[in-house]
Amino acid sequence: MSPLEAALEDYLRLRRALGHKLDDSGRQLTRFVTYLDFIGAETVTMQAALDFVLDADLNPGSTIPGRRLTAVRGFARYLAGLDGAAEVPPAGLVSSRARRRVPHIFSDEDVAAVIRHARASTPFPFRQATLAAMIGLLAVTGMRVGEAIRLGRADVSWDDAVILVRDTKFGKDRDVPVSASTIAALADYARDRDQARPVTTRLFVSLAGTPVAYSHFSQTFRAAVTAAGIGAGTGIQPRIHDLRHSFAVRTLLGWHRAGLDAEALLPRLSTYLGHREPRFTYRYYSDSRVIPIPVPSCA
């Protein structure tokens, strides 16, 4: 455990003892501390805080930057009282009001191009395989990035082709059935991973055998999207989360084209994606009725 991870653990324990739940703040600060450790920062700096809060992969019209700022400010104030060196970013840097963002709907060709450019970004075959497996899994399951990063080797039922997603956004586990081709691709990666990094229980790991850092993965994904020219000239900046949005919309379009009642089937998709209520999935249904997309092959 790094000094910053230990400080975060103490901070969250103290705040929770005072009655604060901090579920979302805890997740955001865990990502922030991972980012600080990744860049070698010893405490919170204004630049590191701004880079995290204003991450280009986030939707600036959502509430996430505002929530991140609130969480980082609280932790920075706590650290400043301990080391006197932490810099506290000022309030009001970003708006906390959400604005609806138009997503980029990834086609199969888009996903293949992102994987190709992500592979080209590193000379290490194992990292190439990890990036390809993660991006492919996100595209064909609609899982959240954090869920994929936290997957354990034992969370995949190879015979049943089912992935167990633990400790989801709303604290519930769920089963995610996948196709035979998806389980085969994961099995190929798992064999390479077990030979190269046999110690850790995580499915996806870094070159050092540690859990994949969200910040590093998102930067690589963003660079691959840019290199592939995806979204160029549309005014839309594709994000990792758009893979989840794309899966949902393409699934609904597949139901439409098969003559099924997509609206009636919406609760099934909601359960598969791990939404708390079907109403949170309805935005995908609305998008599927207005966004022209090629016939899906992975829905």
Q: Which are the catalytic amino acids?
A: 144, 169, 241, 244, 275, 284
**Phi, psi (5° rounding) for residue 69?**
-60, -45
- Cα separation, 48 vs 36, whole angstroms: 7
- Cα separation, 44 vs 28, whole angstroms: 14
DSSP string, 212-235: PPHHHHHHHHHHHHHHHTTTTTTT
Alpha-carbon distances of 12 from 20, 24, 74, 169, rounded to whole Å: 9, 12, 10, 18
- The tokens for 19 are 């009655």
The total number of residues written for the chain in this structure = 299
Q: Which residues pair with 163 in a beta bridge?
A: 156, 176
Residues 6 or more apart from 130 whose CB is under 8 A from it?
A: 189, 193, 204, 205, 206, 212
- Cα separation, 32 vs 246, whole angstroms: 27
| Residue in the structure block whose two tokens are 């975060």 | 8
Q: What does the CA dihedral 248, 251, 256, 258 come to, rounded to 10 degrees?
A: -170
What letters, b where the CB count within 10 A reaches 16 and e where it falls short, cover 65-94? bbbbbbbbbbbbebbeeeeeebebbeeeeb
